[in-house]
Amino acid sequence: MFIRIARPSGEAAKKIQGRSRPLPRLRTKTGCLTCRQRRKKCDESKPRCMNCTRNKVDCRWEETPFRQCSNGYEMHKPFDNTASSSSYTTSSDTLSDLPKPKWLSVLCQTDGKPRHSNHYPNPIKSPSEDDHYLMLVYYQREVIPSTTHKYAHPGYFDYSYQFSWLSTYPTLSIATAASAAMHLSMTQPRYRNIALKYYNKAIRGVRQMISEGVVDGTEDWILGTVILFDLIERWRLDGLPNAGEQHLLTAIHLFKTRRQHKKVAQTSSQVGFERLCAESILYHSAHILLSSDHSILESHLGLIRELKGTCEAIPFPDSTVWSVSPTLGVPFAVFELILQIAILCRSKSSTASFGSFWQQLNDLDMTHRSVPPTNNRNDEIGAQNYTFSTQLYIVAAKILLSCAFEAQVSPAALRTLLQDGILTVAMVDTSTPLGRFYCWPVSVLRSIAEREAEVIFLDQKLASIENASGCGYTRTLMDDCKMERARRTVD
């Protein structure tokens, strides 16, 4: 059963009025809200009716508060989130007294102190129960749908597996609220402090469960929590440089721990969840390796490669080549090369490496330049989007490789790559929340653009990505590319 959170009323509803869309006036009283809005007969199958599944649109239902019970989910009060300010982490807290498996590195610096602790504001009033409940609603409506591209298989849009954990694991519930508040803080800054309080409390909750031996690192909800920690750092504008890198490394070690314990996903929902997490790790690793001169991920590329099996898993047997990926819509092999090239850019390698990588990129381009024909219009658009996205990432990877081996590529050839990339960017939609996953390749193109018209076009695309995603790391990556352009000018 799909889990829904009730819409707040009164003052609580006003808090997210700017982000949520008003519901239409409905003519019927049964069926999903989407069919009722479109005046279509609904078969009322949940979590997604046949109409919405067939048309690949969001299937929305009347929302009710929930709690887990023997026969599903029913009404309950919001989660209790009250806590005294003394329960939050301070800069003096350390983890030296706790066992430290490798996947616990998310919580530690080399000196054993929380990476985030020195960046917390002075103690403020604890987030209220209403704020917590409101953030769960916002997360469901705005955050989690933005993690799945619209051409993905309909099965990825069933979030009941992830939401079923919230009433069982309060720490995950708090981390979920933290990510929602940080996302919302981009347009409503008052939520920043709320996000940091939740974030701090969630990390303390994980630490406590580790110290008590409650978790062993194979739990799905722990993996989901760490991915949320990474997103929180991505969406911050005031955090430590590459703070999210620790969380990514932890998530990678969690995947390794799961394999060592022979943790095998049994259901389509579990396989889909793992793939969503793995693709998130891939994208953000590429971001860090592009923007950082010193990255601990460099020495863990072998671990990242071990995500291949997860990133190529097919949770839904009827998936197409363009719908099997929930987030990236790009083959794993492309990202594997991107990560290697990003590391190569900061090392001295032989020209033989250039030829090998260039040939591999050409081979991938030829393999994925066309997809099987389809008679369905939505599938045709999805197939085109898959092709354009793959081409865009390959062009960006070639530009990155060319910058590492400038002597191997003529200015004219580099310019041709830029023009090809700009033409491809014009074919993809950057105006949706998922547009942020184009930020990496568009930023690479922007880093070598010099002509005014090209600069204006790419800046507009990046601004469109930032406005649609509402996330801080988009702005951060744009700043990183500006610094890279300045460095290249000096050199």
Distance of CA 234 to the CA centre of its chain: 9
Per-residue model confidence (pLDDT) at position 420:
95
For the stretch 395-449, pLDDT in tens is 999 998 888 887 788 889 999 999 999 999 998 888 777 777 888 899 889 889 9
Identity of residue 405:
F
Per-residue model confidence (pLDDT) at position 384:
85
* 144, 276, 324 from 151: Cα distances, Å: 15, 14, 9
3-state secondary structure of 73: strand
pLDDT < 70 positions in the chain: 1-29, 46-47, 56, 62-129, 237-243, 291-295, 297, 346-352, 372, 469-491
DSSP bridge pairs for 73: 68
Distance CA 68, CA 167 (A): 7
Identity of residue 415:
R
Distance CA 475, CA 82 (A): 33
Cβ–Cβ under 8 Å, residues 209 and 249: no
Could you tell me which of 269, 341, 274, 349 has the C-alpha nearest to residue 306?
Answer: 274
Per-residue model confidence (pLDDT) at position 457:
94
Distance CA 444, CA 488 (A): 13
Distance of CA 197 to the CA centre of its chain: 21
> The dihedral of CA 46, 49, 53, 59: what is its sign?
negative
Cβ–Cβ under 8 Å, residues 117 and 89: yes
Per-residue model confidence (pLDDT) at position 43:
78
pTM score, whole prediction: 0.71
Per-residue model confidence (pLDDT) at position 149:
84
Helix (H) or strand (E) holding 72, with range, is strand 72-73
Neighbours of 250 (CB within 10 A): 24
Per-residue model confidence (pLDDT) at position 295:
65
Per-residue model confidence (pLDDT) at position 97:
38
Tokens of 473: 């790391």
Residue in the structure block whose two tokens are 């008679």: 375
The per-residue b/e assignment along 125-159, b for 16 or more CB within 10 angstroms, e otherwise, is ebbeeebbbbbbbbbbbbbbebbbbbbbbbbbbbb
Per-residue model confidence (pLDDT) at position 235:
82
Per-residue model confidence (pLDDT) at position 423:
94
Could you tell me which of 450, 443, 441, 454 has the C-alpha nearest to residue 481?
Answer: 443
For the stretch 73-110, pLDDT in tens is 232 333 333 333 333 332 223 323 334 444 443 333 32
Q: Which alpha helices (H) appear in 315-368, and where do they start and end?
A: 332-344, 351-368
Per-residue model confidence (pLDDT) at position 472:
54
Per-residue model confidence (pLDDT) at position 477:
63
